[in-house]
Structure 1
């Protein structure tokens, strides 16, 4: 039986993903896919992205949690999700990145 979800080198107990919520939208959070993080990295390379309060993001995280509505990205730093509302990275990506069951 699998008890953990893996994000790169760090593991997160699955029950935590079922308990924590997006501080900005109140939706569930999940591990951001490599595809989404790659898109964020590409977008940041073309035009620097900012967090919720307008500070430029110095580097796109290699691990992150994403809100169920795919509007907010929360960096995972040293295996710890940063769930401060102001540190969230707003996303404006196409709906195809949303979980199909959420459509």
Structure 2
């Protein structure tokens, strides 16, 4: 987790909180949270990175739309990262 960018960690949190979201759903959630526009050129390469790392799985909804789901490894990484951060705030 510490090797990921902040944006990639945000992707994991968003994906973990949604039920098999599409890239567009992830984009909309991040934009609503951050108040910033997220470009496709930023979103999809970062999604590929977390998929390649085994933290997220990618499937097909239809010919044009993919969905993303947090993996067990991704959820464990998020939990460990959250615990690490919580210890610093205590």
**Larger fraction in strand:** 1
**Larger fraction in helix:** 2
Tell me which of the two structures has the higher relative contact order, counting C-alpha pairs closer than 8 angstroms and 6 or more residues apart: 2
TM normalised by structure 1 equals: 0.24
TM normalised by structure 2 equals: 0.26
